[in-house]
Amino acid sequence: MLKLNQHPTGRHFLQIPGPSPVPDRILRAMSLPTIDHRGPEFGVLGLQLVAGLQKVFQTRHPVAIYPASGTGAWEAALANTMSPGDLVLMYETGQFAALWQKMAARLGLKTEFIAEPGTCPATGLPASWRRGVDAALIAERLRADPGHQIKAVCVVHNETSTGVTSDIAAVRRAIDDARHPALLMVDTISGLASADYRHDEWGVDVAISGSQKGLMLPPGISFNALSPRALEVNKAAKLPRSFWAWDEIVEMNKTGYWPYTPSTNLLYGLHEALEMVLENGLAAVFARHQRWAAGVRAAVTAWGLPIQCADAAVYSPVLTGVVTPAGVDADAVRKLIHTRFDLSLGTGLGKVKGRMFRIGHLGDCNDLTLVATVAGCEMGLQLAGVKRAGSGVQALMDHFAEHPAPHTA
């Protein structure tokens, strides 16, 4: 712990892509007294939470809430639908896809991991870590599986390690065109409530999400959004599960309660978060993140540094990956920025460690906090001796001035 007299003044800049800055309104809601999770008020809260989450996932079907980080909800998705030895087809978009694949293997599943081959000539980074899912590669693999050994296709909607999104509707079409019965499972842990996500329309069977990214909550709760088909498959799936089992949760949720003690105060926060997201409307929430992201990309482009995502069609609205020049350790730059300016940036994970850092633009941000964030990065790059083509701060200010937020126009 820092000694009190060393504590910096002002708010820390938590610009990692989750946990995101939590609005005071949510922190205050969480400070209310804890109540009896079997008492009468709780059931009212529980029903409102599930109904609100259905709106955010854009689904009419059940949503399970777990007192766990996102990783728990990943396990729940697999444990509720798969049997030992089942084959799952996963797609290597980045580190989170890789961690999910590792988990599937540890749970006793067979995994196949599709990746675009090769490295990117400009940066030397793995090709598939700079692009979204290529649905054609999934279609091809499914067509080569007439015996339907593949039980699920698992993809990450917003790959938080790279700042790349994937076209989920295209993955659904690939599965349907191949007339393949595999379930579609989507990790939208960092996509939900910041990038457009449509559970029913896109035909997703199981979606996984968490509290500490787009929903602006502290870490600690996570979600599975289900489809009728997922609930059907669940009945015959043989992987062991108890804490994660959907059947009891879905049944008790009908009256607003849970089989075990839920995270009551985090759920107060979730109630407030849902109100904030839904009172603005999802379209406004998505547009806000797109506008911030475009501004931050303008800044990175002005520096003359490559953006980790190499395909403009799938830039993440949630975070931007900044590739540092060869020979510059991105983590050393991050450390300098943290020490000097009390600003946290996301580290490069896995195969891109040391080669890039991540700027989060989600949660309780606004134009001025993002200008300050980019200023912190720019000062840090300067101190680290990184040559820049121009001023990112100026580019960001110009972008925001030219593209006023709708409520100020």
Ligand X SMILES: *Cc1c(COP(=O)(O)O)cnc(C)c1O
Chain positions contacting ligand X, by CB under 6 A: 18, 69-71, 96, 156, 160, 187, 189-190, 210, 213, 219
In whole angstroms, how close is the CB of 321 to ligand X at the nearest point? 13
Residue closer to ligand X by CB (options 206, 381) is: 206
Residue closer to ligand X by CB (options 66, 257) is: 66
**Cα dihedral: 127, 131, 135, 140 (round 10):** 0
Decide if 93 contacts 156 (C-beta within 8 A).
yes
Residue closer to ligand X by CB (options 106, 387) is: 106
Going 107 to 109 to 115 to 118, the CA torsion angle's sign is positive
Residue closer to ligand X by CB (options 37, 213) is: 213
The percent of the chain in helix, strand and coil, each rounded to the nearest 5, is 45, 15, 40
Residue closer to ligand X by CB (options 27, 99) is: 99
In whole angstroms, how close is the CB of 189 to ligand X at the nearest point? 4
Q: Which residue has the tokens 């100026």?
A: 394
Residue closer to ligand X by CB (options 155, 300) is: 155
In whole angstroms, how close is the CB of 191 to ligand X at the nearest point? 7
Pairing of strands 150-156, 87-91: parallel
Cα distance between residue 267 and residue 264, in whole Å:
5
3-class DSSP assignment, residue 155: strand
In whole angstroms, how close is the CB of 109 to ligand X at the nearest point? 17
In whole angstroms, how close is the CB of 178 to ligand X at the nearest point? 25
By beta carbon distance, the residue nearest ligand X is: 70
**Cα dihedral: 63, 138, 161, 184 (round 10):** 10
In whole angstroms, how close is the CB of 309 to ligand X at the nearest point? 14
Going 55 to 57 to 58 to 62, the CA torsion angle's sign is negative
CA 166 to each of CA 25, 78, 94: distance values in angstroms, whole numbers, following the listed order? 32, 20, 12
